[in-house]
């Protein structure tokens, strides 16, 4: 039976935008991974590892997995902790 993860991707560390974090992804797990003896790269004989399906909601992704008999696990996104800062804090004396 196929296994998959359903998750919402985190924003990249290289940019401040959150464009690719709005959709839910269904990504299949790797079954047979190994090292290619010629190049030394990590390879897999399972082509489903290359498949990533995008969904607008988590419920649609779960429905798709259930219809197609895919064993899945849902990874909930973590909430960002926003620390409010003020420019004036750079000049205030601290005791």
* Tens digits of residue pLDDT in 4-58: 999 999 887 787 777 778 899 999 987 767 787 888 887 777 777 788 999 999 9
Does this model's pTM top 0.75? My answer is no
Tokens at 77, concatenated: 């996104």
Which tens digits make up the pLDDT trace of 80-91? 788 888 888 888
Domains of the chain (ranges, CATH numbers): 1-10+24-77 (3.30.160)
Alpha-carbon span 32 to 30, nearest angstrom: 6
């Amino acid at each position: 039976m196929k296994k998959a993860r359903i998750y919402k991707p985190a924003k990249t560390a290289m940019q401040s935008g959150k464009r690719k974090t709005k959709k839910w992804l269904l990504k299949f797990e790797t079954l047979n991974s190994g090292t290619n003896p010629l190049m030394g790269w990590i390879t897999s004989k399972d082509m489903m590892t290359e498949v990533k399906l995008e969904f607008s909601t988590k419920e649609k992704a779960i429905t798709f997995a259930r219809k197609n008999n895919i064993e899945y696990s849902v990874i909930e996104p973590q909430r960002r902790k926003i620390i409010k800062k003020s420019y004036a804090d750079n000049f205030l004396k601290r005791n």
